[in-house]
Structures are given as structure tokens and as C-alpha cells.
Amino acid sequence: MKAPAPLDAEFFCSACHTPFRNAMPLDSHGVCRACRAGLRGFDSASTFGFYEGTLRSLIHLFKYAGMRPLAGTLGGLMNRALPVDRQFDLVVPVPLHWRKSLERGFNQSELLARELARKRNLPLAKALRRKRAGSVQASLSLAERRRNVAGVFEVRSKRDIQNKRILLIDDVMTTGATASACATVLKRAGAKSVTLLTVARVDRRN
Ligand SMILES: [Zn+2]
């Protein structure tokens, strides 16, 4: 297997790091339309690479073949993607519905969050809860995904996150709808900032 490749794109949003084919969707500050419209929920986002090739294979082995030790490898890649000078107070994983955790035996985002917490010497809090499962998102458009995840997440304990700079962890970002929904409830409950960190993101350029 080739080493997983870090994300490489000529044009991307300076806030959410969404890659684009050209500079057209970006304003003079390099910010995309979704970020300008405040649709993101999170303040910024970082990712290691695109969800393809070796990286995709590693995530599949980790998530679906239950190769838990890969959390260390993937967590290392995530740590590399996060600017060293960024300060955080708390690491929070995107929650799975309990039924899914039970089926899989673990929440992949939580294992990754533990790696990041250890590497950055930060506390971890399972501050979010998924109230209902939400239907499968794979075939949905961005607007449908937003509706699908709206109201799905809630904050367990507001006290844990008040005024905190939160590092929100998920494995893969597709449209960002799930992360936006999580970030929105965290902000509403008093979080100072929310930065999303994922191993990979789906390349939606076409
Ligand atoms: Zn953006």
C-alpha cells in the first residue's frame, strides 16, 4: 500500500478548507459561500486528505473490519493536519447512535478523539448525544442532509463546554451537515469556538 497522501488542492476555502476547481466561489478573503452565509456552524475545519486511495482503505479497515489499533495511525495523520499553534480546551467526538455503537462495538470518532486528546494533552468529553438515528445519508443532497440531521444532536452537560474552544472530531466529512449540526448545538450551549478535525473528506469537486 502507498502511504496516505495529504490533501492537495490549488483552491480551497480558508475557513472550512473545502476544495474548489477554481477561485470563483471564494471571496477576497478566500472564504466560500457556505462559510460567508454562516451555514457551517463550526469556525474552521482541518482534514488530512481526500477520502480515496490508501486513506479510504485504512478508514474502511478501521471502521468496518474493526481494526481498532489503526486509531493510532489515523490519529497521527489528523494531528499532522492540525496547525500546531492552534489552542483548544476540550476534545469532543461526534456521537454515534447507541444502536450503531452496539452493532459496531465502538464509536470510531471517539477512538480518534482519544488519540488526539492524548497527543495534544487535552481533556476529552463526550459532550454530545444523538437523540435519534437519522436515516442513511449517502444518497441525500446537502439540503436534505441538513434537514435529516437538524435536531438530532443535543448537549449532555452545558457546564462542560461553556466558554471552551472545542476540537470536534469525526472520521470523514462528506457535506459537513453532521458537523454543522453538532457545532451549532455546541455554540448555542455556550462553546467559545468549534474547530472540526477529520481524517478525510469527500472530494465533491466536479
Ligand atoms: Zn468555507
Report the alpha-carbon distance of residue 61 to residue 16 in Å, rounded. 27
Within-domain flag for 2: no
How is residue 85 written as a grid cell? Answer: 499553534
Ligand 1 center–CA 20 separation, angstroms: 10
Pair 94, 138 in one domain? yes
User: Are 188 and 120 within one domain?
Assistant: yes
Whether residue 80 contacts residue 115, with contact meaning beta carbons closer than 8 Å, is answered with no
Q: How far is the CA of 69 from the centre of ligand 1 (A)?
A: 32
How far apart are the CA of 36 and the centre of ligand 1, in A? 7
How far is 105 from 82, CA to CA, in rounded Å? 28
For the chain, which ranges sit under pLDDT 70? 133-140, 206
Total tally of structural domains belonging to the chain: 2
pTM of the model: 0.91
State the distance from the centre of ligand 1 to the C-alpha of 47, rounded, in angstroms.
13
How does strand 19-20 pair with strand 165-173?
unpaired
78 Cα to the center of ligand 1, angstroms: 19
Residue 182 Cα to ligand 1 middle (Å): 17
Q: Is residue 192 part of a domain?
A: yes
Domain span at residue 31? 9-39
- Reported as a single tens digit per residue, the pLDDT across 74-122 is 999 999 999 888 899 999 999 988 788 888 888 999 999 999 999 999 9
- Tell me how far the alpha carbon of residue 15 lies from the centroid of ligand 1, in angstroms: 5
Tell whether 15 and 74 lie within a shared domain.
Answer: no
Å from CA of 48 to ligand 1 middle: 16
